[in-house]
Amino acid sequence: MSDDRPTAETADATGATVAEPDASAEPDPDHDDGATTTGTADRDELDPADASLVVEDLAKRFGGIDAVDGVSFSVERGTLTGLIGPNGAGKSTTFDLITGVHDPDGGRVTFEGRDVTGYRTAEIADEGLVRTFQIARELEEMTVLENLMLAPRGQSGEKLLNAVTPGLRGRVREEERELRERVWETLELFEIDHLAEEYAGNLSGGQRKLLELARALMVDPSMLLLDEPFAGVNPTLEEKLLDRIHELREGGLTFLLVEHDMNLIMEHCERVIVMHQGQVLAEGPPAEIRSNERVIDAYLGEDV
Ligand code: ADP
Ligand code: MG
């Protein structure tokens, strides 16, 4: 852990977000009327104070490929924002750069006013910015319950350290009890409590997606990045997941969602960012994006 960082003055952005709906957060799909002239990204639209996440000029090269090539956008706090683009557009790499999976070659990531560029994934999770990860092989051999019990510690080195420090065992035991309660609440939220004792490796594709989301929530995020969370999920379960996502958003969570299904994005997201060939092609409300010529061109010949 680096010790030169300020302590958690932004911690209020996490915590009780689920319990306290923001009365002023009524989404207004028309609030961006008047900005319909151009499809290019216009970062100045959003008051920086309202942005949870700000990405500036991010860049990543793999060999000769500019996977992410000067990407800038902001995500407004409390919104469900979509990130779309044809295969290979750089969406997943952008997520990797935001969440410390890869170090960017250039650019900056600011989360709730704090520069988190170059932070490790666990440090970024401690700030409240969390992405879902596929259930790793080791976790397949553990039960759903164990997966959730381990989730917060798996992402936070500090908590693990506390657990092994002598003299803290009493507190750890208390935390263990609270953790167990939260685990069961989360299992019930996703209606997978009946699978608590099942091995993660035995879950169906859709159930796995629920577990991935549940694990991410155990870290108590204020913002979640979801990379194709509905891949391989049947329509019924997809609806259920979307309901959960909307509930959590109404409770104050911010979402950035990568999804292939354009209709789903248009129906559910308040704002949409479109990437193409490592760059942001357009950013705006769904209606504007849907009719944007550059976006339509980018998707021509794509199987969407
Ligand atoms: P998307 O998620 O939009 O489909 P990606 O971010 O996965 O796009 O990929 C963007 C580009 O970067 C693609 O050309 C892909 O092949 C390349 N790429 C992604 N990850 C790596 C990697 N680890 N090594 C080399 N090339 C990569
Ligand atoms: Mg991808």
Instruction: Compute the distance from residue 88 Cα to the ligand 1 centre, in Å.
Output: 6
Q: Are residues 160 and 266 in the same domain?
A: no
> Which residue from 84, 93, 131 has its CB within 8 A of the most atoms of ligand 1, so it is best to mutate?
93
- 86 Cα nearest atom in ligand 1: 3
CA 27, CA 286: separation in Å to the nearest integer? Answer: 13
Rounded to 5 degrees, φ, ψ at 58 are -65, 140
Structural domain that includes position 186: 136-219
Count of structural domains, the chain: 2
Is residue 239 situated within a structural domain?
Answer: yes
- Neighbouring CB atoms inside 10 A of 114's CB total 17
Q: Which residue, chain included where needed, has tokens 């760059």? A: 279
CA 180, CA 186: separation in Å to the nearest integer? Answer: 10
Is residue 5 situated within a structural domain?
Answer: no
- Neighbouring CB atoms inside 10 A of 297's CB total 11
Is residue 202 situated within a structural domain?
Answer: yes
User: Does any ligand 1 atom lie closer than 6 A to the CB of residue 91?
Assistant: yes
Q: Are residues 112 and 232 in the same domain?
A: yes
- Comparing CA positions, the residue from 80, 92, 40 lying closest to residue 271 is 80
Is residue 210 a contact partner of residue 237, using CB atoms and an 8 Å limit?
Answer: yes
Listed residues 178, 196, 219: the one ending a domain = 219
Q: Tens place of pLDDT for every residue, the chain, 304 residues?
A: 444 444 433 334 333 333 334 444 444 444 444 444 444 444 446 788 899 999 999 999 999 999 999 999 999 999 999 999 999 999 999 999 999 999 999 999 999 999 999 999 999 999 999 998 888 888 899 999 999 998 876 544 445 555 566 677 777 778 888 889 999 999 998 889 999 999 999 998 888 989 999 999 998 899 999 999 988 788 888 998 899 999 999 999 999 999 988 889 999 999 999 999 999 999 999 999 988 999 988 886 564 4
Q: Are residues 243 and 213 in the same domain?
A: no
The CATH number that applies at residue 104 is 3.40.50.300
DSSP 3-state of 100: coil
Q: Are residues 189 and 235 in the same domain?
A: no
Q: With a threshold of 0.85, does the pTM exceed it?
A: no
Q: Are residues 55 and 199 in the same domain?
A: no
Is residue 9 situated within a structural domain?
Answer: no
CA 220, CA 214: separation in Å to the nearest integer? Answer: 10
In order of 76, 80, 118, 124, 234, the CA distances from 221 in angstroms are 15, 14, 19, 10, 26
